[in-house]
Structure 1
Amino acid sequence: MRSLENATPVPPRFDITADQIDAVVAEFYAVVRSHPGMGPVFAAHVTDWPAHEAKIARFWRNAILFERSYDGNPMVVHRAAGNVRSPMFDVWLGLFDSVLRRELAPETAAAWSALAHRIGRGLRMGVEDRDHPVPSLR
């Protein structure tokens, strides 16, 4: 059995730096805060924007760079929020894609967008399951 100290590092999903991830996250939340539909949804839950942005940047660095600095469960958070609805994910992803296209090279933006859409589909399904639970057949 190999120790973690000698393990070969996992290469990133695509070519990006931690600083670029931080910049995209900061720009995305600047856009979200000013968005008439999404701003109030996030404002209902986020009281410390710098801490939230740092946590979400850790999430993306974990998902893309395979860092082990994120500790959380996005599905639980989105389901528990109460005011997050399935159609909001299209808006969220549209805003995110626009930031990616402005901030990154086209190949990097496309790769991150594909990952975000895959994660978004899972979160959307979790929110839909909360809103439309399977009926008991007993």
Structure 2
Amino acid sequence: MTHPNPMQLFDISGDEIDRVLNTFYSRIRQHPELGPIFNGHVGETDAEWDKHIALIARFWRGAILREPGYDGNPMRAHMQAGNVFSEHFDPWLALFEEVVSEILPPQTARPWIALAHRIGRGLRLGVEDLHRPATKAPSLS
């Protein structure tokens, strides 16, 4: 497959992004640790989740396909949530890797997983900074 957009990061279609996100968030909703957090912020109804998934799809389409349309601030959203902590990122990323690897071929899954880890590291650092006592130095590991 060739990139329809030369600025696109790797070969993936918008439909593939949507399929991954729909599967991923259906599992998040049921996840014993992450489900209650997400359901508390997103809502419990399919309509609320559809709206959230559409927002996240715009984020990923912008990040990967370089499509315009996402105007949110993921760092602010995660920091303002109040109940998102550093320890939530590992199970989120593990579930994301699982879904991406199930749905996409390896040559597409690998770069998306790597991008998710890079973004996740930044979000985790922001959340850790928010919750760190002022007297404690940041961990750079």
- TM-score if structure 2 supplies the norm length? 0.87
Deviations 1:4-30 (A, max 9, x none): xxxxx5421000000100111111001
How do 1:52-67 residues align onto structure 2 when only pairs under 5 Å count?
52-67=52-67
Q: 1:13 aligns with which of 9, 12, 31?
A: 9
Question: 5+ residue gaps in structure 2?
Answer: 136-141
Q: Distance in 2 between matches of 1:37 and 1:133?
A: 24
Name the residue aligned to 2:132: 132
Q: Percent of aligned pairs with the same residue?
A: 55
Aligned twin of 1:29 = 25
Aligned-pair Cα RMSD in Å? 1.3
Tell me, in whole angstroms, the C-alpha distance in 2 between the residues paired with 1:22 and 1:133. 39
- Cα shift readout 1:26-69 (whole Å, capped 9, x = no counterpart): 11001101110000010110021000000000000000000011
C-alpha distance in 2, partners of 1:134/1:59? 32
Runs of 5+ in structure 1 lacking a partner?
1-8
CA distance in 2, matches of 1:11, 1:79: 30
1:118 is the counterpart of 2:118: yes
| Paired residues of 1:33 and 1:43 also in contact (CA < 8 A) | yes
Mapping of residues 80-99 of structure 1, within 5 Å: 80-99=80-99
Please state if 1:45 is matched with 2:49.
Answer: no
Structure 1, residues 56-115: CA drift from partner, whole Å, max 9, x if none?
000000000000111100000000001100010001000000000000001110100000
SS in 2 for 1:129: helix
Instruction: State the structure with more CA Rg.
Output: 1
Is the Cα–Cα contact under 8 Å of residues 10 and 66 in structure 1 kept in the other structure?
no
Deviating runs (4+, > 2 A) in structure 1? none
SS at 1:83 equivalent: coil
Aligned residue pairs total 128
